[in-house]
Structure 1
Amino acid sequence: MSIKENVDYIKSELSSEEKLLEGFVKSERFFKKYKNLLIALVVAIVLGSIFYVVKKSFDESNKYESNLLLNSYLEKGDEKALEDLKNKNKNLYEVALYLKAKKDEKSVEISLPILKELLEFELAKKDSNLEALDKLSMKGDFLLKDYALFNKALILTNEKKYQEAKDTLAKISNDSRTIELVNLLNHYLLTK
């Protein structure tokens, strides 16, 4: 190797070491400049993680206690458990109210839309209330829309209003899960 190549090699080595040292100095300046912010960020992440774990544990405990209260109410009829459930878990409290109202066949004020509609459906079906069944079946997002229409048709058939029953069954789509029941009732209505 020539002396010139050796000198170039040494220059390139020194240049790369200078760059490394320069990068180290820049990162040290950055750390000094944002030291408090970086420490605050690390502390926030640690505290956030601890809060998340504690909250998740608390929620699991609350869910378990709520289920125990619901079971106590359902099995023993414990009204104190129902009141405690109202304070602990509003949704399970509403489920308990729905189950009680369904059992007693009475209306009760429920704020959960699905349970409210199911209770209205159960009461309308029990009372053979065509108007209430019709109102429920007109809701586009009602869970049991087709089943409500089928029950309306069944009530109309029992009242010997065969054409109205046929018209109601025609509103049920062919891809409905109730189509087998619809076909059976339509078969019966062919002779009427």
Structure 2
Amino acid sequence: MKFQNNLKTENSSIQENFFKTFIHSERFFKKYKFYILIVIICLLAWFIVSIINKKIEEKNIKENNQIYLTLIQNPNDDKIASNLKEKNINLYALFLISQLNKNNTDSKIIDQLKQISQTSKINFLIKNIIDLELHQKSLFLKDYSKILEAYSFLEQNKIEEAKVLLNQIKNNSEFKQIADNLKHYQGNN
């Protein structure tokens, strides 16, 4: 019997605590329901806007990729090229780089790449790749451009000029091993 009484007392105590907590939370909700609703509405609006933005971004990516693939298949279509240039200047720059690799002497492509390289809308890495393709100084790929320039000197048997360039590559550069290997080149005997 004692156990049942203790159980009933404990059960009623738990129920009282539950009701007290429920009443306190109801008071809290009544007091701050306006703020709670604003937070819920803001979170819901943010969630909806983020989903819409993601869908729009995915649609734009698919559309840009489709335009890029069409332009690769038909590189002489100026209408598609201008459309890609408007929608995604970075993809257009990559297309021009691929065309420049096919035809190194096309001055029209070189001029367009120079113009794009000066645009602030272009990705920093793509700008550096363009600068490297156009044999301009690239901050990001300066060691790589030094390696290429030194290699061209070595092809012309200008070994001392090549060694001066290769010595400018710092010890912590990823190209240091290549530079050290090229320093040992003695030219065509």
User: What TM-score does the superposition give when structure 2 sets the normalisation length?
Assistant: 0.70
Partner of 1:148: 145
CA distance in structure 2 between the aligned counterparts of 1:13 and 1:115, rounded to whole angstroms: 71
Partner of 1:90: 89
- 1:43 and 2:69 matched: no
The C-alpha deviation readout for 1:138-176, integer Å capped at 9, x for no partner, is x3xx23x33322222233334443222222223344863
The alpha-carbon distance between structure 1 residues 84 and 191, as it changes in their structure 2 partners (threshold 3 A), is closer
Instruction: Trace 1:24-173 onto structure 2 (pairs within 5 A).
Output: 24-76=22-74, 77-100=76-99, 103=103, 104=106, 106-107=110-111, 108-109=114-115, 110=117, 111=119, 112=122, 113-124=124-135, 132=136, 135-136=137-138, 139=139, 142-143=140-141, 145-172=142-169, 173=171
User: What TM-score does the superposition give when structure 1 sets the normalisation length?
Assistant: 0.69
The C-alpha deviation readout for 1:110-159, integer Å capped at 9, x for no partner, is 233333332332232xxxxxxx5xx44xx3xx23x333222222333344
The alpha-carbon distance between structure 1 residues 168 and 35, as it changes in their structure 2 partners (threshold 3 A), is same
Q: Percent identity?
A: 30
Instruction: Trace 1:7-18 onto structure 2 (pairs within 5 A).
Output: 14-18=12-16
Counterpart residue identity of residue 116, structure 1? K
Count of residue pairs brought into register by the alignment: 174
CA distance in structure 1 between the aligned counterparts of 2:10 and 2:147, rounded to whole angstroms: 87
- Gaps of at least 5 residues in structure 1 are 125-131
Cα displacement (A) at 1:26: 0.8
CA distance in structure 2 between the aligned counterparts of 1:13 and 1:119, rounded to whole angstroms: 77
CA distance in structure 2 between the aligned counterparts of 1:29 and 1:190, rounded to whole angstroms: 89
Aligned alpha-carbon RMSD (Å): 3.3
- Gaps of at least 5 residues in structure 2 are none
